[in-house]
């Protein structure tokens, strides 16, 4: 494994939740970090906290859906920190999909941030990575992309699209020395999950626990990284179920899981 102090990593979504906790965990290990998010105050806090543990860190406020802004942010980070070795596309949004308020605009927003936002980040770093013939892209997808789940159809669609997008890019990028890891977390207690009106409490990781898994993914660089193990097993089982059994289960889970009109 290369010395973390020689590795420069850009993270999007670094102001909050999993991105912030991962930035802090990586800072403690000595990585050089470029932080991007749209939440300026929280991003500045993450930058200060990373700096306080001795990391070389810089931040850029940008919206991942704005390609020009992301290219500018990546350029500004490269000017300060030098060539980018790795990127972590963590900025994302979620939300319920309820048929009484279908809101196609919410689907579009999730596709824009969760899919196009990661594509924009990749687009911004590829010229440099191609020139150096090396680089690693970590895309944060989700186990929610394994199948269409009731109450989160739009989010599942966005994460399934991202997983397929990353998979499709993989062979051509590999030819040019750039590798891809698709990270699929299970439930983590962040703003994305905070407002979901689950009827029964759901077991969730804390962001700091998720960050430990993310560090492992970044250092081991597998093709896919699904965590925690219990969710990996459960969701892989669901993914492999014959459709009639899956449908039977979801017909029952949908109306019973949430405290809202399904």
Ligand X SMILES: NC(=O)c1ccc[n+]([C@@H]2O[C@H](COP(=O)([O-])OP(=O)(O)OC[C@H]3O[C@@H](n4cnc5c(N)ncnc54)[C@H](OP(=O)(O)O)[C@@H]3O)[C@@H](O)[C@H]2O)c1
Quick one: 129 or 162, whose CB is closer to ligand X? 162
35's CB contacts (< 8 A; 6+ apart) are 10, 11, 14, 15, 23, 43, 46, 47, 50, 57, 58, 59, 60
> Which residues in 160-191 are b (16+ Cβ under 10 Å) and which e?
bbbbebbeebbeebeeeebbbbbbbbbbbbbe
Q: In 29-85, which ranges are E strands? A: 32-37, 57-61
Rounded to 5 degrees, what are φ and ψ at 58? -145, 160
Out of 4, 117, 135, 150, the residue judged to bind ligand X by CB under 6 A: 117
- Map residues 63-82 to x or -, x wherever contact with ligand X holds by CB under 6 A: xxx-----------------
Contact indicator for 221, 35 with CB cutoff of 8 Å: no
Quick one: 8 or 22, whose CB is closer to ligand X? 22
Contact range with ligand X by CB under 6 A, out of 112-120, 218-226, 230-238, 252-260: 112-120
- Contacts with ligand X by CB under 6 A: the residue count is 29
**Residues 5-34 within binding reach of ligand X (CB under 6 A):** 13, 15-19
Establish how many alpha carbons lie within 13 A of residue 23's alpha carbon, considering only the half-sphere containing its beta carbon: 34
Q: Does 35 bind ligand X (CB under 6 A)?
A: no
Catalytic residue among 31, 155, 165, 213: 155
Q: Does 188 bind ligand X (CB under 6 A)?
A: yes
Quick one: 195 or 261, whose CB is closer to ligand X? 195
Quick one: 131 or 233, whose CB is closer to ligand X? 233
* 87: its two tokens: 């990127």
Rounded distance between C-alpha atoms, residue 53 and residue 31, angstroms: 11
* 162: its two tokens: 């991202």
Q: Is 165 a catalytic residue?
A: no
- Map residues 121-160 to x or -, x wherever contact with ligand X holds by CB under 6 A: -------------------x-x------------------
Out of 4, 59, 77, 90, the residue judged to bind ligand X by CB under 6 A: 90
Rounded least distance, CB 112 to ligand X, Å = 7
Q: To 10 degrees, what angle do helices 117-132 and 67-81 make?
A: 40
Out of 34, 135, 185, 228, the residue judged to bind ligand X by CB under 6 A: 185
Contact indicator for 43, 60 with CB cutoff of 8 Å: no
DSSP line for 146-200? SS--TT-HHHHHHHHHHHHHHHHHHHHHHHTTEEEEEEEE--B-SHHHHT--BSS
Contact range with ligand X by CB under 6 A, out of 86-94, 95-103, 213-221, 248-256: 86-94
Quick one: 8 or 141, whose CB is closer to ligand X? 141
Rounded distance between C-alpha atoms, residue 19 and residue 50, angstroms: 12
Out of 23, 113, 137, 154, the residue judged to bind ligand X by CB under 6 A: 113
- Provide the binding-site residues for ligand X, judged by CB under 6 A: 13, 15-19, 37-39, 63-65, 90-94, 113-114, 117, 140, 142, 185, 187-188, 190-193
Q: Report, as residue numbers or ranges, the catalytic residues.
A: 155
């Amino acid at each position: 494994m290369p010395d973390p102090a020689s590795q420069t990593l850009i993270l999007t979504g670094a102001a909050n939740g999993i991105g912030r906790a991962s930035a802090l965990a990586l800072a403690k290990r000595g990585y050089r970090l470029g932080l991007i998010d749209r939440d300026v105050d929280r991003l500045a806090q993450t930058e200060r906290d990373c700096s306080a543990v001795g990391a070389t860190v810089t931040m850029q406020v940008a919206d991942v859906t704005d390609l020009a802004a992301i290219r500018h942010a990546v350029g500004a980070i490269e000017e300060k920190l030098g060539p980018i070795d790795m990127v972590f596309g963590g900025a994302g949004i979620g939300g319920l999909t309820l048929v009484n308020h279908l809101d196609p605009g919410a689907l579009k927003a999730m596709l824009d941030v969760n899919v196009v936002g990661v594509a924009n980040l990749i687009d911004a770093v590829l010229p440099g990575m191609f020139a150096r013939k090396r680089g690693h892209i970590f895309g944060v997808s989700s186990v929610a992309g394994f199948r269409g789940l009731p109450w989160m159809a739009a989010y599942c669609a966005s994460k399934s699209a991202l997983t397929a997008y990353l998979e499709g890019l993989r062979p051509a990028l590999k030819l040019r020395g750039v590798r891809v890891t698709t990270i699929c977390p299970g439930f983590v207690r962040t703003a994305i999950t905070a407002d979901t009106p689950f009827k029964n409490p759901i077991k969730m990781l804390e962001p700091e626990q998720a960050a430990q898994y993310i560090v492992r993914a970044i250092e081991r660089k597998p093709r896919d990284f699904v965590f925690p193990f219990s969710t990996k097993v459960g969701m892989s089982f669901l993914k492999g179920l014959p459709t009639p059994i899956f449908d039977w289960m979801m017909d029952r889970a949908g109306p019973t899981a949430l405290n809202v009109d399904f």
